[in-house]
């Protein structure tokens, strides 16, 4: 029974190691809708400065959040000229434009969401009210790395590396404004994810247990034969 238990433990540990090393080879943490801890996207400024307008990036690089306390209409622009994604009204009403192709693309971090055939940046906006908080939070593909693999600028995982600066255009009243920021790779201190390290330790423990089990069975067999 001891040998059988050690064998099961060994097989489980080998499987864990295999999964963890697969994660290591693919770049570490898998990211779906949340942020990627290997990156930091940060707002550096809003120019020209508008009193009462603030912006921040949430969850490492996941969402851009904009708050309007300017007493003016603020419109978030999309990826193409004339594309109005959202607007924040002076009374706190937050609306999104269902005719905006960028609005639909923003539903998925990698921009793979389906865009309705009717969506057209040149069409009259179809505004849908979300809430009256004065805050709009959304995925914006300009502020994060869109690739599934490690950025080519990153030579070693543990080295902090600036990837690019980014801008998100707005209009505040009738004035063009932009949010400026930077995307930085922060990586980790080890090229091997924690899961892989844990799996390697488990494998070492399993191998030791298996070795003791083999030795114990060999000794028991010798004693029975005498």
Q: What is the pLDDT of residues 70-115, one digit of tens each?
A: 999 999 999 999 999 999 999 999 999 999 999 999 999 989 999 9
Residue 39 clears pLDDT 80, i.e. is over it: yes
* Strand ranges of the sheet holding 84-88, from the earlier edge strand across to the other edge: 39-47, 175-185, 161-172, 74-77, 84-88, 94-97, 127-131
Opening angle at CA 28, ends 27 and 34, nearest 5: 110
Q: How far apart are CA 123 and CA 83, in angstroms?
A: 9
Which region among 24-38, 79-93, 144-158 has the lowest average model confidence (pLDDT)?
Answer: 24-38
């Amino acid at each position: 029974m001891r040998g059988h238990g050690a064998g099961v433990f060994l097989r489980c540990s080998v499987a864990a190691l295999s999964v963890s090393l697969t994660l290591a080879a693919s770049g570490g943490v898998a990211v779906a809708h949340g942020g990627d801890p290997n990156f930091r996207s940060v707002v550096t400024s809003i120019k020209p400065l508008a009193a009462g307008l603030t912006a921040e990036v949430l969850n490492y690089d996941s969402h851009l959040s904009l708050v309007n306390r300017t007493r003016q209409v603020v419109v978030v622009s999309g990826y193409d000229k004339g594309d109005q994604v959202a607007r924040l009204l002076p009374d706190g009403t937050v609306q999104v434009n269902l005719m905006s192709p960028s609005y639909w693309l923003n539903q998925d971090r990698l921009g793979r969401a389906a865009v309705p055939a009717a969506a057209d940046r040149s069409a009259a906006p179809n505004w849908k009210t979300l809430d009256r908080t004065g805050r709009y939070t959304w995925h914006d593909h300009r502020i994060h790395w869109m690739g599934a693999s490690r950025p080519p600028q990153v030579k070693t995982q543990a080295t902090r590396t600036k990837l690019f600066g980014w801008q998100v255009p707005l209009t505040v009243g009738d004035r063009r404004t932009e949010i400026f920021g930077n995307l930085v790779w922060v990586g980790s201190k080890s090229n091997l994810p924690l899961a892989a390290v844990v799996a390697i330790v488990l494998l070492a423990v399993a191998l030791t247990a298996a070795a003791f089990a083999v030795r114990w069975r060999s000794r028991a067999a010798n004693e029975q034969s005498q």
